[in-house]
A and B are shown apart, each in its own frame.
Chain A
């Protein structure tokens, strides 16, 4: 009741011989540290995943080997991995720029779908007479796709900027509208003989693929990697330059880190909110265009609304919002998606994705805290 005396803990006979202390980091960790933590987190995730596989009665080593083989084993599957990585890359870029400003755009999926719709509309209306040069059709598809994606991003942007509507909710809801919207068109207007898909695009509306050059270079036979990957990489480089080297990118970073300071520095937050979501939507829209013109070649719900926009969120996050790192992470996730096709049950790669995400996000903790392990002195 009186003065607080040091409390003596009753001694247990057996104790864990180490004591763990978590301390906030006061100094910036060395440059190699973040990368090492990320790699460590992925390794831990693979171990956990392996345990689950073993528990399910599988052989984790064989499973991992199979995943690796199914995704990177040959030039053919590597190409397929890259095809899967392309839409993920563009949606992850869309998320990167928005997240950089702490605008939580969960609507990359819908913007992606609307981009695919816009690009398809160019072909299906049709905007150009048959046999128009691909040099005119493809850029128009890109433009219209980006426009529709941008529009889909602008709506939550305006709602947020003008009415302070939470962009997480509004952009998420816009996804469902987008799915219903393309469903309407492929069910009612552009249906191909009653099936829920449009007709296949004419070949001048296809993005060039590696196999198109197989006549000159036989090595490329059967490789379906298409020019969308190139678009994605170029977009990543440009986005990197914009974020880290441009005035506008500086404004985005400043708002994202401290909106009050940005306001104090005279930056118009309202305008940037709309602008960033427009650009974010346009990037996702470009992803939709690339997918429809490079892989699917027709407007159809299931292969387009396949959740690339959501995977993009994860990838952007794992890449720490760095567009160049996003290229690598997208390929990793493309591989996991592809492995899902090869491995039964297909849930295993999805589970591994989830575990990797949890471990990576959890590992962020180690960026801010350090773990000190201390051996408890034996007391006789």
Chain B
């Protein structure tokens, strides 16, 4: 079906294969971020097309545009050859697009069938649940999605809940399924089941878009791969069977200009943080850390590289006492800190720059003063026999405001009015002013502008110079390479390897090595350079 000529539309796919989805030059901005920058993407009939990229690369944004959740600023979407203009997810569903989100949208106290029927116009009055139970059951059988239609959602495992989400979309007649990181919440066996289902669905003529940042899975399931990095397509529709993991890793991680920082050579001191064979679960009770061992010495920055969701968050929480571990050792200056409280660490000089500035790092409606005393209000001189010395607290806050360039009219201003960079300065000021012996910094520059990033980097190096042990957890490879003395790479809760960073420009091979480790290749199996074909 031919529609009007559209600017920017460049039909590139072979005419013989009908395109289920054709997205051309999609642009989507968020305040301060270009999430999608002229992205082209297409899906053929009956294929699994993987959308690969790091967190924040724009994968979910692109798919939310396709599913009608976001309206793009510009660009054209064609479904089965027809130009569409979605105003809501309902429009997208009518066009046959079903998105299965990372966070399930199910009602826990209702049954599987009830959840599937929820929001549909039919049946209008009389609901013969038995009849629909049978329909749902048969639908499940057809696609290998085994789930009891009468079970209540809360009784189901995460994997089963995901099946309900898929069934929901199939029931609505979706023939293009978007799976947003479907394996993130699953146990290994459940992943196998999911893949079997996906293959069954493709065999029935459905098309699937598989969002992931895990190379291994992409190679195992996808027919074609499109890679996004920082909102742009770096590899478009590669044949998954003729590409290599190395190639994909390179496209995904990329190579960017390295910042030049004034990092003085320094001999590290004694071991401050020592972690041995640490095991811990994530919030869902699935293993997140599977035997992590690493150490950080005084006066050095140790980087932890990895794609988000590979256990970094859990590791930081276990070190800072906010998460219990199942087994293993965490020692701070020789003293065990595992399975103690957050307070235990705070009193022993553990500082923590949390990943989530607004929800964990600060109390939004309290003043700058209240926020900077969060870690020190217990000890004199701020504590005065159970009362707070407020004038001293104000003075302390004003001092930090000047020292750390926190742009805020007064220290009485609630921190919710601060920009991301200023908020991060508040957190850094608080954490560093306590003269920590260990600083755990998680994504300290995420979402900050260039100026703020530089000041954060400078502060971290100052702490290194004054002999603090720093564990820097980041997804920004450039940041890790320019700041760290050593870098560990984590993948699925395991350390893939450790590399030493020499000062100066890091070799491209090094970046490639880390990129491969980040996507699941242990150090000893990493191949760099020309010998790519053998993996």
Contact = CB atoms under 8 A, between A and B. Distances in A.
B374 A261 contact: yes
Contacts of B122: none
B383 A266 contact: no
A261 B341 contact: no
Given A246-B386, A250-B370, A257 B363 contact: yes
A260 B360 contact: yes
B388 A247 contact: yes
A8 interface: no
B361 A264 contact: yes
B360 A261 contact: yes
Contacts of A266: 321, 341-347, 375
Contacts of A267: 343
Interface string A246-266: 111010011001101111111
Most B C-beta atoms less than 10 A away, residue of A241, A250, A257, A260:
A250
Contacts of A268: 341, 343
A267 B342 CA distance: 8
B341 A250 contact: no
A263 B342 contact: yes
A62 interface: no
A4 B352 CA distance: 48
B83 interface: yes
Contacts of A258: 359, 362-364
A368 to B, nearest CB: 11
B444 to A, nearest CB: 15
A262 B342 CA distance: 10
Given A260-B360, A263-B322, A247 B387 contact: yes
Interface string A309-332: 000000000000000000000000
B414 interface: yes
A26 B352 contact: no
B458 interface: no
A136 to B, nearest CB: 29
Nearest to A258: B363
B107 to A, nearest CB: 18
A246 B360 contact: no
Nearest to A267: B343
Interface string A29-42: 00000000000000
Contact of B374 (A4, A26, A241, A254): A254
Nearest to A264: B360
A21 interface: no
A250 B363 CA distance: 11
Contacts, number: 80
B410 to A, nearest CB: 10
A1 B83 CA distance: 8
A27 interface: yes
A28 interface: yes
B245 to A, nearest CB: 37
Interface string A233-251: 0000000010001111010
B341 A4 contact: no
A28 B417 contact: yes
B4 interface: yes
B321 to A, nearest CB: 8
Interface string B363-400: 11110001001110110000100111010000000000
Contacts of B339: none
B391 to A, nearest CB: 11
B203 to A, nearest CB: 34
B527 to A, nearest CB: 42
Contact of A247 (B83, B359, B375, B383): B383
Given A28-B417, A247-B387, A265 B375 contact: yes
Of B320, B363, B378, B413, chain A has the most CB atoms within 10 Å of the CB of: B363
B83 A2 contact: yes
Contacts of A248: 386
Interface in A115-174: none
B85 interface: yes
Q: In this complex, which of A241, A248, A261, A268 has the most chain B Cβ atoms within 10 angstroms of its Cβ?
A: A261
Given A1-B83, A266-B341, A247 B370 contact: no
A4 B84 CA distance: 11
B87 to A, nearest CB: 9
B311 interface: no
Contacts of A261: 359-363, 374
Contact of A27 (B322, B363, B417): B417
B354 interface: yes
A265 B370 CA distance: 12
B413 A28 contact: yes
Interface of A: 1-2, 4, 26-28, 241, 245-248, 250, 253-254, 257-258, 260-268
The 9 A-B residue pairs whose C-beta atoms are closest, nearest first, are: A266-B343, A257-B363, A266-B342, A258-B363, A265-B374, A266-B346, A261-B363, A260-B360, A257-B365
5 contacts: A28-B417, A245-B388, A254-B374, A258-B363, A265-B342
Given A266-B347, A268-B341, 6 more contacts: A2-B85, A27-B417, A247-B383, A261-B362, A264-B320, A264-B322
